[in-house]
Amino acid sequence: MPAVKPSYADFLKIKATEDSERQVKLEPEFMGINNKIITLLQLPGIDLDKKAGAKSPLSAENAILYKEIFRLQSYGNMKEADAKIARLTDKRLYSDVLFQRYMHPTAYKTTFAELDDWLTRFPDHPGAERIHKLAVSRRPEGHKGGWANLKFRSEVPEIHEPKMATPKTYVSKKDRTPEQNQNVRALSVKVRSLVSEGEPGLAQETLYTAEAVQHMDEAERDALKAEIALGYLYDGQSARALDLSRESVRRSGEAVPLASWVAGLGLWLKKDYANAAIYFEKAGTSPYASPWLASGGSYWAARSHMRAKNVKEVSRWYREAAKHTRTFYGLLALRALGQDIRLNWENAAYTPADEEKLLDTVEGRRAMALVAAGQYDLAERELLHFDFAANPSMRPVVLAYAGHVGLSEVALRLGSMLDAPGGKLYDAALYPVLPWEPEGGYELDPALVHAIVRQESRFDPQARSPSGAAGLMQIMPDTARHVLRAPAMTDEGVETLLGRAEENLTIGQAYMKELLADKNVNGDVMAMLAAYNAGPGNLARWKKKFGPVTDPLLFVEMIPVSETRTYVKRVMANYWIYSLRGGQGVRTLEALSSGQSPRYAYAPQDTNPFKLAANQ
């Protein structure tokens, strides 16, 4: 990647020149039957060359032109893009070209007339809602026109983690008025906010003195006390944490599994392993515990029994943890038991009949053309715009197509909803491969990069967080400026750069390398992930507070920020599963299961498992 100067305009000029001069090799090829690369024209039983118009594939020449047009426009080079547009003989993706141009943050000032015309011509486009919002903001005073037949984006399929048991939800039987319910919710939010701010004492005082507490039942009060107890534990007040958590367990038992978890951790810190095991068991077996908490409670029960020399119980609690296969502690338990981690890397079968069904839909035809032009993110927007609620039979069709051409976000969303034959999971869809790579290829373990992307953005290149993190790896603008050594880069420039998948991966990979070399990380993968999520400054403070890490699992559980604790464990679970997909082994899993720090160790090798067949 070329050095980026403080002037974003200079950067755009350099990139556009490189991209225009680069020899683009792109054929309208797709993953076909039996994972062989074939063109649409060669699919058995389909004479697409005899079909007219939109059902025919893009020609190689038009596919190359479109790819260059989208690339030039992304860097704001509209004049160069216009020259390519003039050479197009197939205008079916013109709506997407115009959408990209009209929504560019700096390079093009769109008129109301252009937006009005676009909405009139392309009311079913997945970008219609954004264009409509912009058009309304620029509508001339007195303009009374409207737009008929607008088809705003359908509800995007939610992502459900695979085979995760659904815990029971505690429902109070307390008779409350709507106003009292609202006050109870407000008190709960206030208490949790104070705990997250490092004020457990003030949180406890607020709980005890608030008028709304009289409208709570015991289990509701104890659930909040468990969170306050956890805050005390992170604040170094383990005695208060133990008193409060054990009191909650005595009163509300299995209804508040977090209280049992806090009591177990507090007793572990006191080296009272026999009693710690009792509380961890309660957390591990509560029907109200999430799979992540249940597997953690069971795994730590096994650890506690081991420390207490109660060896007979160790395997039993490892087996309990291993029931939650794809969780952090579930995977550790499987390794401790010496059991294989069985995953299904077969894609959903993609058939000529599926191809026909896709070609019979507007979204399918446009998505196929966009894939031919290398615009995977736009193709995903098309397919996620599909009304699956009204057409549920299209879910397996789109899933099969997504797996074959590398539409990772679509694969993940639909793969989490559908089971493979025989009750298996579509793990290839649940842990998909990116259709993009960092510029220059992978310099770090691609399994680790994929693990972070899966957690950060769910493979959406345009993901944005309320805090301003952007793109596949959810990079903050100031982090991008730091990595690129471009402190003067404008907000618009950073936004455009981070919205491009390849550049986002390149910057994210460079930041990961920097963090791995940080003195407080020193090659520890979990420490690197904590720094990636919470910042290297916070990691340094935690290291200073807790001293040398002799128990890496305890260090993770003592991170005082809930989001970061969860993040580290979920990305590590992703990392191990992606490592199995890549076939390079799970050294960090083996290290942690034996009590060692998970040191980063990756020898550059064949990365084909992380390349789409169509892109090799």
Handedness of CA 456, 460, 465, 470 (dihedral sign): positive
Closest CA to 258 of 330, 181, 167, 182: 167
Averaged over 133-159, what is the pLDDT? 77
Q: Which of 10-14, 203-207, 299-303 has the lowest mean pLDDT?
A: 10-14
Distances in Å between the alpha carbon of 279 and those of 245, 258, 320, 542? 10, 10, 15, 26
pLDDT band at 3 (very low <50, low <70, confident <90, very high): very low
Answer with the residue of higher pLDDT: 321 or 50.
321
Of these residues, 456, 503, 563, 590, which one is catalytic? Answer: 456
Distances in Å between the alpha carbon of 615 and those of 19, 405, 435? 18, 9, 8
What is residue 31's three-state secondary structure?
strand
Tell me, rounded to whole angstroms, the distance of Cα 392 from its chain centroid: 24
If one counts every other C-beta atom within 10 angstroms of the C-beta of residue 53, the result is 8
> What pLDDT was estimated at residue 424?
87
| Through-space distance between the first and last CA atoms of the chain, rounded to whole angstroms | 20
Alpha helices in 290-393 (DSSP H): 291-307, 314-322, 328-337, 352-359, 362-372, 376-384
User: Scanning the structure block, which residue is given the tokens 């515990």?
Assistant: 289
Q: Is the pLDDT of residue 13 over 60?
A: no
> What pLDDT was estimated at residue 36?
30
Answer with the residue of higher pLDDT: 251 or 610.
251
CA distance 455 to 161: 11
Amino acid at 83: A
Instruction: List Cβ neighbours of 202 (8 Å cut-off, separation of 6 or more).
Output: 194
Amino acid at 295: S
Q: Are 394 and 386 in contact (CB under 8 A)?
A: yes
Q: What is the 3-state secondary structure (H, E, C) of 522-571?
A: CCEHHHHHHHHHHCHHHHHHHHHHHCCCCCHHHHHHCCCCHHHHHHHHHH
> What pLDDT was estimated at residue 492?
86
Q: Is the pLDDT of residue 16 over 80?
A: no
Distances in Å between the alpha carbon of 471 and those of 373, 382, 415, 439, 460? 21, 19, 22, 15, 7
> What pLDDT was estimated at residue 530?
98
Q: Is the pLDDT of residue 28 over 60?
A: no
Q: Is the pLDDT of residue 108 over 70?
A: yes
Alpha helices in 175-252 (DSSP H): 178-196, 200-209, 218-234, 238-252
Instruction: List Cβ neighbours of 183 (8 Å cut-off, separation of 6 or more).
Output: 211, 212, 215
Amino acid at 252: S
What is residue 30's three-state secondary structure?
strand
Does residue 485 come out as left (phi exceeding 0), alpha (psi in the -120 to 50 range) or beta?
left
For 515-554, how does the pLDDT look when each residue is reduced to its tens digit (9 = 90+)? Answer: 999 999 999 999 999 999 999 999 999 999 887 778 999 9
CA distance 8 to 11: 5
| Active-site annotation holds for 456 | yes
Percent of the chain with pLDDT over 70: 88
If one counts every other C-beta atom within 10 angstroms of the C-beta of residue 259, the result is 31
> What pLDDT was estimated at residue 41?
25
Q: Is the pLDDT of residue 613 over 50?
A: no
CA distance 78 to 84: 10
- Beta partners for residue 464, in sequence order: 470
Q: Is the pLDDT of residue 216 over 80?
A: yes
> What pLDDT was estimated at residue 155?
60
CA distance 199 to 43: 64
Average pLDDT, the chain: 88
Q: Are 573 and 598 in contact (CB under 8 A)?
A: no
CA distance 584 to 604: 11
For 434-491, how does the pLDDT look when each residue is reduced to its tens digit (9 = 90+)? Answer: 999 999 999 999 999 999 999 999 999 999 999 999 999 999 999 999 999 999 999 9
Q: Is the pLDDT of residue 168 over 60?
A: yes
Q: Which helix (H) or strand (E) holds 546?
A: helix 536-546
- In sequence order, what DSSP letters do the residues of 61-100 get, joined into one string? HHHHHHHHHHHHHHTT-HHHHHHHHTT-S--TTHHHHHHH
Rounded to two decimals, what is the model's pTM?
0.88
Amino acid at 226: A
> What pLDDT was estimated at residue 142?
79
Averaged over 246-268, what is the pLDDT? 98
Q: Is the pLDDT of residue 82 over 60?
A: yes
> What pLDDT was estimated at residue 17?
45
Averaged over 424-438, what is the pLDDT? 94
